[in-house]
Amino acid sequence: MLEKIISIEDIIDVTVDGIIYNDGEGTIEKVLFDECRKNWVEHVNKSGFKDWQGNTVKITFEQSRCIGERNMIAKPPYILLYSDVKIKIEMKPAVFNKLPKLQRELLAVLYNVAKVNTFDMT
């Protein structure tokens, strides 16, 4: 999968089914959570990921609400959405506190509005 990097400042809205953002070139795009969930399930099932007992993990679309991964101690911190073209949302600390509430509270909005989550990579 290819990867596209956007800034958290580019987020316009979070809905129950996706994130709407400005692609930086004047085009409004939407990432669909169901697409991200499908790709996350495929990623986990192909990765050979093991649980604490050493069993290979296999999950289904219905079992997972995960749409990607996040790393809040990376430089810069990011959320990586597993859409067909992965979208990396970078959160540069210098601008983070100046952002509107929607963008500052992106993780809470994802959990509370869309009922999706991300896998913590830290």
Which tens digits make up the pLDDT trace of 42-76? Answer: 999 999 989 899 999 899 999 999 999 988 888 88
Instruction: Give the model's confidence band at 21: pLDDT under 50 very low, under 70 low, under 90 confident, else very high.
Output: very high
Say how far apart CA 5 and CA 88 lie, in whole Å: 5
Residue 7 CA to its chain's centroid (Å): 13
CA distances from 109 to 18, 49, 60, 73, 93 (A): 11, 28, 24, 20, 19
Nearest to 89 by CA among 34, 26, 36, 16: 36
Average pLDDT of the chain is 86
pLDDT value of residue 88: 95
Answer for the pair 42, 56: CB distance below 8 angstroms, yes or no: no
Asked if pLDDT for residue 98 goes beyond 80, the answer is: no
Instruction: Give the model's confidence band at 92: pLDDT under 50 very low, under 70 low, under 90 confident, else very high.
Output: confident
pLDDT value of residue 75: 87
Q: What is the mean pLDDT of residues 24-33?
A: 93
pLDDT value of residue 118: 81
